[in-house]
Amino acid sequence: MSRLLLLSSSRSGSTGYLDHAQPLIADFLGDNPKPVKRVLFIPFAGVGKTFDIYLEQVRPTFDAQGLEVEGIHQAADPKAAVRDAEAIVVGGGNTFALVKRLYDADLLDTIRQCVANGTPYIGWSAGSNIAGPTLCTTNDMPIVEPPSFSTLALVPFQINPHFIAGKPEGHNGESREERLEEYLALNPHALVVALREGTALSREGHSLRLLGELDGLTFSANGQQALAANSRLDHLLTPY
C-alpha cells in the first residue's frame, strides 16, 4: 500500500525551514504500520550547497521527532540504501537537477518499487513534483538536461507545487494559471493538482487527502476546480 506525504513547499509564508511540515511529517510517520526510527534523505535537488550541508539543514526537523537521518550521498550502495530505507525523504531544490541525478544513479525504479511495497515517501517542492508521472509542471528553471522528463508516477496526476495565482504587476511573463493552461493545451488528457504553499497531499493506498489550511486547485481540459482544505480526494487516484 502506497503511503505518500507530498508537501508543496519547505516553508509556509514566513515560517522557518520545514516548521509547518514537522507536525505533518510526525503524524505521517507515526501512522506507519512499521515503526520508523530512521529516514533516508535524498538531497539531489540541492544546488549551490553541498549534499552534506543540505543534510544538516534537514536534520533538526527529524531530530526533533527522535528520528535518525541518513543521506543517500553517504551510502556506499545507494540502491541498497533505498531498498533498506524505513522511509524515503526527497527534499526540494531544482527539479531538473533532482531528476538528472536520480537517473544518473539509476534510482527511479528502485524508489517506485519500494514505495509500491509500502516504504513511506515524503517529498516537498521538487520532491513532490517528481511523485507525478512527469516533471512537466515544475516551476523550476531547466538548468541541466535530464535523460527523460518521466518521473516516479506515484500518483496518476501532475503536481504543481508552490502554486500562486496571478503575476507581478507590470511584467509580461505568464501567470501560473496561464502556464498550466499551456501545459494542458499540449497534454489535454492530463490532470494537474496545484498545491499552495503550506499545503500537502497525503496518500494512504486508495485514500488521498489535502492537508493544510488553504484550498487547492485542479486544472484539466474541463477547467479549474477548487479542492476544499482538508477534503478527501480519493477520486483523483482513479483513472479519468
| Active site residue ranges | 125, 140, 162
Q: Is 138 in the site for its own copies (CB under 8 A)?
A: yes
With contacts defined by CB under 8 A, name the span among 67-75, 110-118, 166-174, 216-224 that binds its own copies. Answer: 166-174
Return the number of the residue (116 or 141) whose C-beta is nearest its own copies.
Answer: 141
Q: Give the Cα-Cα-Cα angle 101, 105, 106 (nearest 5 degrees).
A: 110
Q: Is 10 in the site for its own copies (CB under 8 A)?
A: yes
Question: Are the CB atoms for 158 and 138 separated by under 8 Å?
Answer: no
What is the nearest approach in angstroms of its own copies to the Cβ of residue 136?
5
Q: Is 82 in the site for its own copies (CB under 8 A)?
A: no
Cell of 196: 499552495
Binding mask 46-65 for its own copies (x = CB under 8 A): -xx-----------------
Phi, psi at 110, each rounded to 5°:
-65, -45
Query: Which residue from 35, 66, 168, 239 is in contact with its own copies, where contact means CB under 8 A?
Result: 168
Q: Is 189 in the site for its own copies (CB under 8 A)?
A: no
Q: Quickly tell me which residue has 533532482 as its cell.
A: 98
Alpha carbon distance 214, 227 (integer Å): 9
What is the nearest approach in angstroms of its own copies to the Cβ of residue 162?
5
Query: Which residue from 9, 110, 128, 199 is in contact with its own copies, where contact means CB under 8 A?
Result: 9
Question: Are the CB atoms for 155 and 143 separated by under 8 Å?
Answer: no
Count of positions (residues) in the chain: 240
Q: How many CA atoms lie within 13 A of 2 on its CB side?
A: 23
Q: Could you say which residues in the range 86-115 bind its own copies, by CB under 8 A?
A: 94, 97
What is the nearest approach in angstroms of its own copies to the Cβ of residue 48?
4
What is the nearest approach in angstroms of its own copies to the Cβ of residue 104?
13
What angle do helix axes 95-104 and 108-116 make, rounded to 10 degrees? 90
What is the nearest approach in angstroms of its own copies to the Cβ of residue 42?
17
Alpha carbon distance 147, 96 (integer Å): 10
DSSP bridge partners of 7: 124, 200
Instruction: Give the DSSP letter of residue 134.
Output: B
- Interface with its own copies (CB under 8 A): 9-11, 13-14, 47-48, 94, 97, 134-145, 148-149, 162, 164, 168, 170-174, 179-183, 185-187, 197
